[in-house]
Amino acid sequence: MYIHVVQTGQSLWGIAQLYGLTYQSVIAANLLSSTNIVPGQTLVIPIPTRAYVVLPRDTLGTIANRYRVSVQQLLAWNPQIRGATVNAGQILSLPTVQRPNTVALGFLELVQPQTDAANVYANAPYYTYLAPFGFGMTTTGSIVGAQDTAALTALANTQALPAATFSNWVDNQFSPGALHVLLSSTSTRQQYVSEVLRIVQAKKYKAVVMDFESIHPEDRDTFVEFLRELKTQLQPLGIPLIVCVMPITGRLPYESVTIRAYDYAAIARHSDYVMLMSYNWSWPGGPPGPVSSLPLVEDNIRYALARMSRKKVLLGLVRYGYDWTLPYQAGEATATLAIDAVVKLAMQSQIPIEFDPQSLTPSFRYWDSQGIAHVVWFEDARSLQMKLQFVQKHRLAGVAVWELHEGFAQFNQLLADNFQITQLPQG
């Protein structure tokens, strides 16, 4: 599969002809709502070749070595290369190569039973684990149940394994206060662990995901102790523990609180996998900017690998964008849009998409029906392909994807094109 970036003046019909395809096949591969494509839009092209998006610091030599080909072969496959250099974000063609085995965890927001089941069947072939989201928390640190019956019934008919997700989600936001109540008492932690075990065994979950976010720094050690207590109970049952951690690069000045709250090395000691939430460097209510800047993602990976085995690292990826109104006002609401909705908006507005050379992510500006200016930063096939290549470059255990109810027609195709997804027995 190849990735094509629409150029000024190109039509969908012309792009299809360029690759010897019908335009209907390109529409189907990208689930396009219309043929009104815009410059800068990425399209996946269903042909038997592989797209490689040049990463920062790549050279023709390093790319050739990574895929065990010669520079001469690389140049022969890519006659568009001029000179001896390539630039980050440039898209090259590679022959189909062996795909590495990779663990893939997909989060699934629970919506309503029929939709949940349909989402399971649509996504299960691409994932090792599917994690319905999930079990929340009361203000006193107890578990709030999840409406997961339909999703679990569907999962039982697939090869993907169900993973139970527990979080400090309270009243539509993550609550560090409720988590503090849980972690500060040995008896409360023990009661919580017992309830996790009861739920997992009763519902036949095959993995546990702990998604505790915005932890207070003073809860750092008790969080690690909680993970130790939980892992001790899960390990004899053969149930892996996956722990989500907020991103740390070790370079940004505002990270001091996160560094004090999340002890990456200790968390890794008491878990089977660690999900790096390598995103939300720009967030709702904050100033507009890239959601998942590529250089920061690699900094986060390097920070983690200095503290844990690469065999434990799952790279967190997102399938959404943020829409800010302009001029930005601190604390103002920011809309979250699925990638398919972002692309549809650009096509409807006929606004070209820009690709930022620093963050290596896309964005565009538009004006709504009231004449108010907006800026949207998001991910597309090109920016996410680069992050999937990081998984291969750093030989990570796999990926963890938030979240599968959000529309992004191209993503599972990218995943399957890059990896052989590890499938585990249901028993």
Q: Is residue 114 predicted with pLDDT exceeding 70?
A: yes
Same domain, 213 and 322: yes
Read off the CATH number of the domain in which 271 is found. Answer: 3.20.20.80
Distances (CA, A) of 162 to 134, 157, 347, 407: 11, 11, 37, 21
Q: Are residues 256 and 144 in the same domain?
A: yes
Q: Which domain holds residue 298?
A: 101-326+376-421
| Residue 347 in domain | no
Band (pLDDT 50/70/90 cuts) for residue 83 is confident
- Averaged confidence pLDDT in the chain: 95
For the segment 245-265, the average pLDDT, to the nearest whole number, is 96
- In a shared domain, residues 47 and 149: no
What pLDDT shows up at residue 226?
A: 98
Identify the band that residue 69 occupies on the pLDDT scale cut at 50, 70 and 90: confident
**Same domain membership, residue 151 and residue 133:** yes
Please state the separation of Cα 380 from the chain's center in Å: 12
Question: What percent of the chain clears pLDDT 70, i.e. is strictly above it?
Answer: 100
Q: 107 and 89, same structural domain?
A: no
Which pLDDT belongs to residue 427? 66
- DSSP per residue over 64-116, as a string? HHHTT--HHHHHHH-TT--TT---TT-EEEE---PPPEEEEEEEEE---HHHH
State the total domains in the chain: 2
Q: What's the predicted TM-score (pTM) here?
A: 0.96
182: Cα separation from own chain's centroid: 28
